[in-house]
């Protein structure tokens, strides 16, 4: 069985030392209550739940998988999953960050991000069920009318019900303009929803008494393309106006997918056969509600990347310290033993530092983005809220794209450290590789994130989020220019940030002349942006670790990892710059 110990020390370092969340939250509406004592208590309890309840179910859930009963059109989750969810709901975790008026605890999103990381490290497949409920909660909170919030939102926040996002169809993946699901009015305000959706995570299961499906569909008078999409709420069991459950709705799973990984998560084909549903928001404006769900989900999937890489790191580090293989090149480091530990070998240390650099840097990126969500929601100054929202919007595709791709690299390196033992199921490493593979795909592939970043956030929105972020990096570099503790980091960070801005302007000019240039450069631009972004957070980490009260061990670890990042990972930006500058001409038609 693989180990998992919640990385509370580094989480607290990120929160309190680097991001200074106590001060930031204290300046927000209701933030005075969100002190360190409260947040530490939540983190401690989350660690206990995830280490003791969810982590032991990770391997067994993967081995057993979900079960589909065709006769009853129902899904049963692996042994222990349902009971774990009961404890999760009873503990109030489902409503941790939800508004108090809906029964939630209204705790900061930045705290929710770290508790989510623990869930996904402990059991990535199990964590997908509450992730989908959170997306449904966000959409209903922002776009549902009063009776929908009263009827559907409160049970979701309590954890009595769960939610889904029903977007994809066999012919319509990322191109939602091609979807065919129909919604016909019944004449009483409800609709008959008919169609087939695929790849629906948590589409059916045995956790809760009802499942709230949020379904994209077309009304009879819908215009063609994405402008004609509406969103409807379609429950598994019909819901009466008083909130009581009625008969089974015509929304059934037709099958569950046989997958490479996350086998404890039920990925369903969902069939809607004139199922009863209600319109969320205005007709033909379903994309607004969808992007509310999608943006939250994309950041959450970026957190999944950090989470699975964290657990892979813990296990590969533990193995590297204990496994004796060969002698160090400079002579025995463990002369009393027949061989030296794997950590004696430079290439093993390279693999370990690669994982640590992405995990700890990625944790900061995810927490920083979540903190912008708190500022946007509860800031006391309108300009501050607007800036935070623009920053968050800009960082989401970077967090989703880079952190999920980094998880591929980290889990691969972790398995590599185990050698042949990593390929054997009993050691658990191959599960991390399989589980991590999906996160670059769902909620928008890396290519989709890249097009969102370069095409929408840079071109359509004129790079407003980038301007904010580059301004923050520039101010940081200026303030720390004479700090000897950061001498080896500030200059390369300042150079990289300046080049980032210039490169963006160059791409924008080329893209205006030929839009194909944007498509050719987008993924490389995302990687480039992500590497510079993590460099900024690593420089901030060294500054925070240099402060009074931080132990020498923490300072050494942060400085060593930051040095590794700046010298061995950040230079990858030059490769991506060269690829971008090569242009679309190097991508001729495929024959």
By CB atoms closer than 10 A (0-12, 13-18, 19+), residue 339 is middle
Question: And the tokens for 249?
Answer: 């709705």
Tokens 């999103």 belong to residue: 109
Closest C-alpha to 153, from 167, 165, 136: 136
For residue 357, what are the contacts with CB-CB under 8 A and spacing of at least 6?
Answer: 534, 538, 561, 564, 565, 569
Out of 443, 499, 513, 517, the active site residue is 443
Q: Are 277 and 191 in contact (CB under 8 A)?
A: yes
Distances (CA, A) of 170 to 74, 165, 294: 21, 15, 19
Question: And the tokens for 347?
Answer: 């290439």
Q: Mind spelling out the 3-state secondary structure of 423-438? A: HCHHHCHHHHHHHHHH
Q: Are 259 and 76 in contact (CB under 8 A)?
A: no
Distance (Å, rounded) from C-alpha 265 to C-alpha 221?
A: 36
For residue 537, what are the contacts with CB-CB under 8 A and spacing of at least 6?
Answer: 18, 361, 364, 365, 368
Distances (CA, A) of 585 to 139, 523, 578: 42, 16, 13
Question: And the tokens for 405?
Answer: 């791709």
Closest C-alpha to 121, from 322, 407, 330: 407
Distance (Å, rounded) from C-alpha 395 to C-alpha 453?
A: 8
Distance (Å, rounded) from C-alpha 533 to C-alpha 263?
A: 33
Q: 145: which DSSP letter?
A: -
Angle at 338 between CA 332 and CA 341, to 5 degrees: 60
146 is catalytic: no
Catalytic residues: 443
């Amino acid at each position: 069985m693989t180990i998992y110990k919640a990385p509370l020390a580094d989480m607290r370092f990120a929160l309190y030392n680097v991001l200074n969340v106590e001060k930031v939250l204290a300046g927000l509406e209701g933030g005075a209550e969100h002190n360190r004592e409260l947040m530490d208590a939540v983190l401690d309890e989350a660690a206990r739940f995830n280490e003791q309840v969810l982590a032991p179910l990770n391997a067994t859930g993967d081995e057993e998988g979900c079960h589909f009963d065709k006769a009853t059109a129902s899904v049963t989750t692996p042994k222990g999953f349902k009971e774990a969810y009961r404890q999760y709901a009873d503990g109030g975790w489902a409503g941790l960050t939800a508004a108090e008026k809906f029964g939630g605890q209204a705790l900061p999103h930045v705290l929710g991000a770290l508790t989510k990381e623990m869930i996904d490290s402990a059991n990535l497949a199990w964590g997908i069920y509450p992730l989908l409920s959170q997306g449904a909660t966000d959409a209903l909170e922002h776009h549902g009318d009063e009776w929908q919030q009263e009827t559907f939102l409160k049970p979701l926040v309590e954890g009595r019900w769960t939610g889904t996002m029903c977007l994809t169809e066999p012919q319509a993946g990322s191109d939602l303009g091609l979807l065919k699901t129909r919604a016909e009015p019944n004449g009483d305000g409800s609709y008959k929803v008919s169609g087939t959706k695929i790849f629906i995570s948590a589409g059916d299961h045995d956790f809760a008494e009802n499942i709230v499906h949020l379904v994209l569909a077309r009304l009879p008078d819908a215009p063609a393309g994405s402008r004609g999409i509406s969103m409807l709420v379609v429950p598994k069991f019909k819901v009466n106006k008083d909130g009581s459950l009625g008969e089974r709705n015509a929304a059934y799973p037709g099958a569950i997918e046989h997958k490479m990984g996350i086998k404890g998560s039920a990925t369903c084909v969902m069939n809607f056969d004139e199922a009863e549903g209600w319109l969320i928001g205005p007709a033909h404006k379903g994309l607004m509600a969808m992007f509310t769900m999608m943006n939250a989900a994309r950041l959450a999937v970026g957190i999944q990347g950090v989470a699975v890489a964290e657990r892979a790191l813990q296990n590969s580090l533990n193995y590297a310290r204990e496994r004796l293989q060969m002698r160090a090149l400079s002579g025995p480091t463990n002369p009393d033993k027949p061989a030296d530990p794997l950590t004696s070998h430079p290439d093993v240390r390279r693999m370990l530092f690669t994982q640590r650099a992405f995990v700890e840097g990625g944790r900061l990126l995810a927490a920083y983005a979540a903190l912008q969500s708190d500022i946007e929601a509860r800031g006391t100054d309108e300009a501050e809220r607007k800036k935070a929202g623009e920053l968050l919007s800009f960082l989401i595709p970077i967090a989703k794209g880079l952190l999920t791709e980094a998880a591929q690299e980290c889990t691969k390196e972790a398995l590599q450290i185990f050698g042949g033992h990593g390929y054997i199921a009993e050691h658990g490493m191959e599960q991390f590789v399989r589980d991590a593979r999906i996160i670059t795909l769902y909620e928008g592939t890396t290519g989709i994130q890249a097009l969102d970043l370069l095409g929408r956030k840079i071109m359509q929105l004129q790079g407003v989020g980038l301007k904010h972020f580059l301004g923050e990096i520039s101010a940081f570099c200026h303030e720390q220019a004479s700090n000897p503790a950061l001498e080896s980091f500030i200059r390369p960070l300042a150079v990289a940030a300046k080049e980032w801005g210039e490169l963006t302007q160059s791409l924008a000019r080329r893209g205006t002349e030929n839009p194909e240039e944007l498509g050719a450069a987008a993924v490389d631009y995302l990687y480039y942006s992500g590497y510079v972004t993590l460099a900024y957070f690593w420089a901030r980490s060294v500054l925070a670790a240099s402060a009074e009260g931080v132990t020498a061990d923490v300072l050494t670890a942060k400085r060593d990892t930051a040095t590794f990042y700046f010298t061995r990972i950040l230079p990858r930006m030059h490769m991506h710059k060269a690829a971008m500058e090569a242009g679309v001409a190097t991508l001729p038609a495929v024959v």
